Structure 1
Amino acid sequence: MMKNKIISLAVASVLFPMLVTQAVADDLKVGGSVRVNYSYSDYSEASKDKGGDFDFNLVSITFADKWNDIGVAAEYRFYQGYDFLKYGYAYWDVNEDLTVSGGVINKPFGNKGYASHNWWYSLNYYLGFEDDYGVGIAAKYQKGSSLTELAFIKNAVYGSSDHRDFAGTVAKGTIDDIDYNNEETNTIASRQSFTLNSGDLTTVIGASVEYGQLYNSEFGENGDTLNYAVHLDISYDGWGFQAQYLAYDYDQYDDGRIDPNKIGMGMLDSFFEVASKGNIYTANLSKNIATSWGSYTIYNDFSMVQPDFEDYDDSILNTTGVSLSYGPVFVYVDYYAAKNVLWLGGNSLGLTQANDDWDHRFNINFAYYF
């Protein structure tokens, strides 16, 4: 706990002076956001009794600076009861084609950018395959239509016992008297993509592979993880389509105390179980419309976790929504229909479902960027 407080204070001590000295650095960009959230959940009696819940979501601080070919970027987030560094890295533009970076970096895996349009993300995010970060080094090589990305991620940002990682991360923890002692380390992730342009039509096709060590700190033994994906992004005249097939396998060391078909993961100050092996299917459709006052995007995002075990059940999430951008204001208005989904009526992903019901949530997230 003391270590975490020291990290938080150290980051804050760096960010705060930058806020008050922005004028002395021509290339320094300091910003952030304040976000609040309203939700109404049909699977929560308390939510229905109160007509929904209106809560503080987060405050974020971002900064970026560049000197010639060297740059830095970071984002720190404050939620209710906890805070963390989402990313923070330095980079070097070696030449016009090659960039190398180091620090808390984004893992190059899956659809470029995001595999969703909505506030809740897709199910990929909760298993560590969307907007995921770790401590390591990376290289990006762009040549014509080809983009090659490679990263070595040594470990999670706050280690294996502190569950403040932004996206799902294999971690230590206890659920129902079952102790998970795994930690992700020495992970290599790569993504190769090609961009094809034809008039107003842009197509990005790609494939990703990830291999890493799963270390059991209790027994000093190792498992491993091997994950791969093929992905597609198409845009035409404001329309967008995304598709992805992803196969994952968290092959942990079996210490005789666990069910190896489950594995514990941590994120956002929480710890939960998922199926240790399975497939994830993603398909998203969107339409962006520009107006005189800003823009809005209508979308439907679909993702499904299909576990590789007969006794377990699929997890399905379908999100229909619209996002609106007006100056510094950004709003998500989403309707989630979920089955066997963590935090949407369920408590895990890809495990045995408590019932066969669909759960629903209406959500509005309001953000002001500065």
Structure 2
Amino acid sequence: MKKTNISLSVAIAMCLLTSSPAFSEDSPFGGSLRANYSYKDYSEASKEKLGDFEFNLFALQINHKWDDYGVAMDYRFNNGYQALRYGYAFWDVNEDLTFNAGAIRKPFGNINFSSHSWWYSLNYYLGFEDDNGLGLGVKYQNGASTTELAFLKNAVYGTTDHRDFSGTVASGTVGDITYDNEETNTISGRQSYTISNGELTTILGVSVEYGQLYNGQFNENGDTFNYAAHMDMNYDGWGLQAQYLAFDFDQYDDGAIDPNKIGMGLLDGFFEVASKGNIFTANLSKSIPTSWGNYTIYNDFSMVQPDFAEFDDSILNTTGVSVGYGNFFVYVDLYNAKNVLWLGGNSLGLAQGNDDWDHRFNINFSYNL
């Protein structure tokens, strides 16, 4: 796929993290209409035009419950691109136990998100933040303990259709290298504990997953094994998130690929990342409620550290503020990136083209229906 098409998909679809849709008691429907402004110092066209302002997307959400049963869905529409983010049915057996089935979120890493910004953290691009797959899940809460397990048969859009809303090991071609991989039969689990002491709330957790990487051309298998330790702390409006994550995508080596690299599909694009390494995440935030809306000031940091000497780290630091007022929600972000896909780079955790820092200023506007 051409780089221009990949960039367009990112510009259209990279606003997944936003305020919740405003469901009313009388209607199960919600949604949002979004637009985006960006100024990129690594793009001559962006600098000459003083940035770009464009339609983002229209999102439709459904969340409805009948007694102990319900459904939830998020579908995205835009100019030439549409896809399902998630869609599942759920059963609340009781107030502690819930089952769900369909296109469900993978239980892995910090609860909800490992970031505050519109661009997410680097975890997202390798499939460890807001990742959904087709399968079955269960959640059990017992006091301070929360246990979540899921079996994911495969990605929402399979292996050659790259419309998944988080990085997914998939089949495709980069340059003259063709990857033939499919994520399937993945077991993912997260165990967390919530500790409360006055205004201080701390969520400590660990996550692990193991799955099959199937090569359809040779009818052979590789596997993936990933694990993480994470913390989410809040005190009087202050928030601190931290996470250490180790990933290992051990694909079948057909002799034509570099096994230290692997292909990922995301947002209608296909790109390469290091096949083994670590991701470090550290985020600091402060929420400020006012009569003019709810403000959250944040600094999100994430780094992909490959496990191969010939490759270089990918680093992303985001400083920003989000504002929610009525049905409106806005992100104002400054991204500082080195060797980062779609922020001046074309991969994650591979050899960098130069030692420069790239910068992007971004404002994302959302009206929630």
How would you bin the TM-score normalised by the shorter chain?
over 0.9
Matches within 5 A, 1:164-243: 164-243=163-242
2:15 match: none
Give the Cα separation in 2 of the matches to 1:134 and 1:275. Answer: 22
Give the whole-Å Cα distance in 1 for the aligned partners of 2:289 and 2:358: 33
What displacement does 1:294 show? 1.8
Q: TM-score, normalised by structure 2?
A: 0.93
Q: CA deviation at 1:105?
A: 0.1
The Cα offsets for residues 20-75 of structure 1, whole Å up to 9 and x where unpaired, read as: xx99xx76410100110000000000000000011111110001111110010001
Could you tell me which residue of structure 1 aligns to residue 336 of structure 2? Answer: 337
Q: Distance in 2 between matches of 1:202 and 1:367?
A: 30
Q: Please state whether the residue corresponding to 2:120 is helix, strand or coil.
A: coil
Taking the TM superposition and a 5 Å limit, the aligned residue runs for 1:35-54 are: 35-54=34-53
The answer for the alignment partner of 1:14 in structure 2 is none
Secondary structure class of the residue paired with 1:123: coil
C-alpha displacement of 1:93 = 0.6
Counterpart residue identity of residue 74, structure 1: M
Gapped regions of structure 2 (runs ≥ 5): 1-22
Q: Number of residues paired by the alignment?
A: 347
Q: Does 1:80 align with 2:59?
A: no
SS of equivalent residue, structure 1 residue 135: strand
1:147 CA displacement: 0.2
CA distance in structure 1 between the partners assigned to 2:265 and 2:139 by the alignment: 28
Letter in 1 for 2:192: S
Does residue 122 of the first structure (1) align with residue 121 of the second (2)? Answer: yes
**1:342 Cα offset (Å):** 0.1
Counterpart residue type for residue 215 of structure 1:
Y
2:19 aligns to what?
Answer: none
Cα distance in 2 for partners of 1:283, 1:119 equals 16
Kindly tell me: are residues 310 and 236 of structure 1, through their superposed partners in 2, closer, same or farther at Cα, counting changes over 3 Å? same
The 3-state SS of whatever aligns with 1:130 is coil
Identity percentage of aligned residues:
72
C-alpha displacement at 1:309, in angstroms?
0.1
**Does the CA contact (< 8 Å) of 1:146 and 1:193 recur in 2?**
yes
Where has structure 1 moved over 6 Å in runs of 4 or more? none
Q: Within 5 Å, which residues of 2 pair with 1:321-332?
A: 321-332=320-331
Q: What are the residue-to-residue correspondences of 1:287-326 with 2, within 5 Å?
A: 287-326=286-325
Any conservation in 2 of the 1:185–1:215 contact (CA below 8 Å)? yes
Contact 1:136 1:154 in 2 (8 A): yes
Q: Cα deviations across residues 135-176 of structure 1 (Å, max 9, x unaligned)?
A: 000000001000000000000111100000000000000111
Q: Which residue of structure 2 aligns with residue 154 of structure 1?
A: 153
Q: Say whether the 8 Å CA contact 1:27–1:66 is kept in structure 2.
A: no
- In structure 2, the partner of 1:346 is 345
1:230-266 per-residue CA deviation (whole Å, 9 max, x = no partner) reads 0000000000000000000000000000000000000
Distance 1:80 1:170 in 2: 26
- The one-letter amino acid paired with 1:343 is W
Paired residues for 1:13-92 under 5 Å: 28-92=27-91
Aligned to 2:273: 274
| Cα distance in structure 1, aligned partners of 2:163 and 2:302 | 24
SS at 1:137 equivalent? strand
Deviations 1:316-342 (A, max 9, x none): 000000000000000000000000000
Q: How far does residue 80 in structure 1 lie from its aligned partner after superposition? A: 3.1
**Cα-to-partner distance string for 1:203-242 (whole Å, 9 max, x where unaligned):** 0000000100000011000000000000000000000000
In 1, the alpha carbon distance for the partners of 2:27 and 2:189 equals 30
Contact 1:106 1:132 in 2 (8 A): yes
Query: What residue in structure 2 maps to residue 5 of structure 1?
Result: none
Unaligned runs of 5+ in 1: 1-21
Distance, in Å, in 2 between the alignment partners of 1:27 and 1:146 is 33
In 2, Cα distance between equivalents of 1:290 and 1:28: 27
Match for 2:234: what amino acid?
Answer: S
Residue 365 of structure 1 corresponds to 364
Q: Distance in 1 between matches of 2:125 and 2:119?
A: 10
Aligned counterpart, 1:284: 283
> 2:240 & 2:80 partners in 1: Cα distance?
37
Q: Check 1:223–1:248 CA distance in 2 against 1; reply closer, same or farther (3 A cut).
A: same
Letter in 2 for 1:217: G
CA contact (8 A) 1:147 1:194 kept: yes
Residue identity matched to 1:119: W
Q: Which amino acid counterpart does residue 71 of structure 2 have in structure 1?
A: V
Q: Which amino acid aligns with 1:48?
A: K
Tell me by how many angstroms 1:79 deviates.
2.9
Q: What SS does structure 2 have at the residue aligned with 1:40?
A: strand
CA distance in structure 2 between the partners assigned to 1:301 and 1:331 by the alignment:
17
Matching residue's letter, 2:356? D
Would the aligned equivalents of 1:35 and 1:367 in 2 still touch at CA under 8 Å?
Answer: yes
Q: CA deviation at 1:296?
A: 0.4
RMSD: 1.1
